[in-house]
Structure 1
């Protein structure tokens, strides 16, 4: 043939066309296999799959054209162009038509497609999604794909002005977050889902507060990191929790440094059945210690955490030990028998009013118990000992805080003479721990109120149980000896605000569940401090973790207090502990006279 391109309308069914058809057939299947087109789940097809179809069809057409050119010196360019278009239309069209059918059935307009969100909830939901980004779109699609339908999707709310009044995933973007009240009222919304997993906690707190003013049923998606890691699915919507309203990002861990310290070691946790101790155990097993000793005084709590941990797929040997930290001989024997590399001391009395009424028990458990475990660690050559302390140990006006401060003195004194690294970690109030304010508020709300708050201006620092346990583990990895670690817990929270938020999260108003102020209890402070003025060290040793400067003290007064515990009345003991913890002169002089 004398020309490069042939007229495709002449001798259409000749040998050239046969070769072209066969080469196109073979190359299409070849490239489809290479691009994995036969392994796609077309029900969930998206732009990526469409690009794959275009790539496969284009390469197969180009391959067929080259074979035609090499074999016959000519190309049926018009036929190939028409074939390219028809292939994309038919191959792509039939797959996306199937996707549409599986998603919407025969519905022409899927805009108001219903979808199930909360299982076993018979109430009809009119749902507004806050956030029209990738998480919001995934949420909308999964809700629409649900086989059970009891929620009507109304639309999105998003602060991106470029998305206003557009349609996303067949749903309208009705406005910005500033218009939540108006939109909820206009469309009779009774259910809001926050699909903004990457937004900072302060902004989430503002949106939740705004939403709870008009809708009781507010839920949120998991963190985007959990979705990305495959730990949870985007459709695992959960109720908004009180932690969401604290307006602070959770503290992260230096996983590598902790694992290098813990992996393959023997570790002991005292108070292992308590709120903090049990969470420390849960976190520890992730780092694969060789043996984990669960030591506690209450058999039921130790049994519970042991039964939970044995369900995990771990190689760690779990050892349960029922013992009282006040029993010095028993504690020394346990530490000597198992020779742990790390001891996390979480056993303590922590309830302020109860310890005010029982100062001897506070000293026996918090001071003598700590002294027993710490000295056992020293004699056994334990690598590191971490004391779980409290922010109430700063300038303490009460027995509980004072005994915890004296416990810090005990471990700091041992740290000066021991090869064991002794450190303390100060917590704020731990949300959800036994005896904390949140379980009390929940019980009061469940019983119809009122919710009791001591004073409208009382503030506290708060942290979650996982945060608290992570701080303990991080302190153990950072320990050099003698430090007091504290966590940057953001701004303190007013207790009354916490009560109001929990009432709203429970679906009630303050008219339905009133708040009563019953006055400050014995030993309580209006506000807590993380470090005293003399201890402040503004430079963090790790992101959001600070080390307090050590304050000098005379340890012989602590020893005298412990030795003469039984001789002191409850009132004298209370005065001694508070004065000693605050390094006050009157008790020091009186004790000096008694020592001499």
Structure 2
């Protein structure tokens, strides 16, 4: 114990001696401030000998007490290069206390004979000025040195708090030198103001002209609160400026609430297509999942795997993953077991269309909540494979739903798609019948069957985003179906969180429709991905229009006109009223559909499926199959 105390004392003394230049400077400042106070007291004229002698006599006492309180308050610890308001506050406190002790000590020693009382406040004011002034001058000198170094000429978009913090951090970055030329901001009240000596030049629309005029080499976007629409506009200005650009993450992704150069990254597709943060009732979701047994079919697919991660965060008793793909199941299970060691994961290979296997899983693991995410989804491929489409998407749902009813599952959540609304593909037909299967079983059992319907998911397996990325890496062309084709997009994590929220509020029989925001043109998506890769659309990377493929349509719909849409207590979840269903007729048709699938009777299966979904219509005609902008 004694040795430890001695070691700490020795280390403190070593540090103190290591800061001797700072202590020497501050001691000299105390001397100058003391004598300067006398000089000022006598109107900048010659100090009478009796007063000067007394001033010199007590000078050691003045320096001693100030050094003591400099050390006590830690004035010597501040790095001059990064002098801040905190350092200024420390100096002010130490000088006030030090001056008070000096005055009291001199009073005890001399009874203030030949010591004017006005000297003490003058001395304190001069000392604060000297200590603060020299430190600020040193910082300005160092900042000036760095700014004179060769660095990229930078323009910062956003003259708010994030831009201010980013500018400050750039000035401290010794590894990469940036010469910040100015700010731009759409708030016209800020135009002409200066932030740390850097002027706010103009609004964002002037960015292309300013970039050329000021020879800007890099644009830094410091607007972490920007929504997708605002970000698209900023990126458009950056692209017109033909200048590289980087951005700070969204405000919800900056963990410590501060902005620094280390956070800068490339603009990503999600920045342009993403939406406002989802407001969720995590308590309600936790009550639904916590200490429950959960089964996820298609558990290693794009939606299924993210559902597994989201469910695991809500502390279930166990999670059973039912999946056909061996490697995907293995990889996901390894990831989950590493991230959530306290949760039991059952990884089961199997086919959701195998009644014996599905019944075994339900009877063996007794799930209380089931997420049915197993489905085929590639529209053009499935259009030519009717039997497998119906078997997997419809019959698979029938098998899982029956097993859920027989084993007393509390909630069964069917993951559906916007392609089930007024379908033009057999994939859409198969999912619409799956929705009807859920509605049918909800009416005939105590299990609550809930359907959640949404559009495309960014980056999911087989989606357009990975395809475009691969085509761009290969140098093009990027194939777009039609320049007018639009789709709804949502991130995987947002979709799964909203699925869980819909499950928490569902009581059975509902079709919840996720609010997907505004549809996005696939042509716009392709061009943005090309630009984000650093290439120029139609010049460095060609775009080729291929025309609609079998089963595709130009625009998707999220609900049928006969489904009365109503809001819920969550703005991004809507409730579509289920259409009426003739249960006797539907049950009979389902039985015949299943028999047709088992007999490989494609034509009969097609007739029954279309009969169950009378709104089905053949695929639309493309507005164009080629375009002047296509690849040569």
TM-score by length of 2: 0.80
Distance 2:257 2:321 in 1: 31
Q: Which of 79, 101, 106 is the equivalent residue of 2:119? A: 79
- Conserved? CA contact 2:297–2:372, under 8 Å: yes
Q: 1:64 to 1:402 in 2, by over 3 A?
A: farther
Distance 1:95 1:282 in 2: 52
Distance 1:129 1:96 in 2: 25
Residue 580, structure 1, aligned to residue 612, structure 2 = yes
Q: 1:353 to 1:577 in 2, by over 3 A?
A: same
- Conserved? CA contact 2:274–2:491, under 8 Å: no
Distance 1:81 1:358 in 2: 92
Aligned to 2:602: 570
Distance 1:48 1:297 in 2: 61
Aligned to 2:342: 315
Q: 1:410 to 1:182 in 2, by over 3 A?
A: same
Shift of 1:211: 1.2
Q: 1:417 to 1:572 in 2, by over 3 A?
A: closer
Aligned to 2:85: 47
Shift of 1:73: 9.5
Shift of 1:296: 1.0
Q: Deviations over 1:399-429 (max 9, x none)?
A: 1111111111111222223332211111211
Distance 2:404 2:83 in 1: 60
Residue 552, structure 1, aligned to residue 590, structure 2 = no
Question: What SS does the aligned partner of 1:156 have?
Answer: strand
Give the gaps of 5 or more residues in structure 1: 1-5, 116-124, 585-596
Q: Which of 538, 543, 549 is the equivalent residue of 2:571? A: 543
Residue 386, structure 1, aligned to residue 426, structure 2 = no
Residue 329, structure 1, aligned to residue 356, structure 2 = yes
Distance 2:76 2:297 in 1: 57
Q: Give the alignment's Cα RMSD to 1 decimal.
A: 3.3
Q: Which of 320, 333, 341 is the equivalent residue of 2:368? A: 341
Distance 1:492 1:173 in 2: 35
Question: What SS does the aligned partner of 1:485 have?
Answer: strand
Question: What SS does the aligned partner of 1:292 have?
Answer: strand
Q: Which of 539, 543, 560 is the equivalent residue of 1:532? A: 560
Residues 453-462 or 153-162, more deviating: 153-162
Give the gaps of 5 or more residues in structure 2: 1-37, 43-49, 617-632
Superposition pairs of residues 475-514 of structure 1, within 5 angstroms? 475-509=502-536, 510-514=538-542
- Conserved? CA contact 1:114–1:143, under 8 Å: no
- Conserved? CA contact 1:453–1:515, under 8 Å: yes
- Conserved? CA contact 1:54–1:88, under 8 Å: yes
Shift of 1:303: 1.6
TM-score by length of 1: 0.84
Residue 275, structure 1, aligned to residue 307, structure 2 = no
Select the structure of larger CA radius of gyration. 2
Shift of 1:229: 4.1
Residue 92, structure 1, aligned to residue 119, structure 2 = no
Q: Deviations over 1:135-184 (max 9, x none)?
A: 12222333333342265543322223344344423434332211111011
Distance 1:65 1:256 in 2: 62
Q: Deviations over 1:311-353 (max 9, x none)?
A: 3264222222111111121122122222223222211100111
Distance 1:40 1:269 in 2: 57
Q: Deviations over 1:548-595 (max 9, x none)?
A: 1011123312333224323463233234323313468xxxxxxxxxxx
Distance 1:112 1:408 in 2: 67
Superposition pairs of residues 465-480 of structure 1, within 5 angstroms? 465-480=492-507
Question: What SS does the aligned partner of 2:322 have?
Answer: strand
Shift of 1:99: 5.3
Residue 225, structure 1, aligned to residue 252, structure 2 = yes
Distance 1:364 1:39 in 2: 73
Distance 1:12 1:478 in 2: 84
Distance 1:173 1:356 in 2: 57
Question: What SS does the aligned partner of 2:566 have?
Answer: coil
Question: What SS does the aligned partner of 1:321 have?
Answer: strand
Q: Deviations over 1:10-56 (max 9, x none)?
A: 584699999988877777766x38xxx78877755533443454355
Distance 2:150 2:288 in 1: 52
Superposition pairs of residues 508-523 of structure 1, within 5 angstroms? 508-509=535-536, 510-523=538-551
Distance 2:148 2:579 in 1: 66
Question: What SS does the aligned partner of 2:452 have?
Answer: strand
- Conserved? CA contact 2:219–2:246, under 8 Å: yes
Residue 294, structure 1, aligned to residue 294, structure 2 = no
Distance 1:202 1:153 in 2: 26
Aligned to 2:173: 146
Shift of 1:482: 1.3
Distance 2:255 2:81 in 1: 21
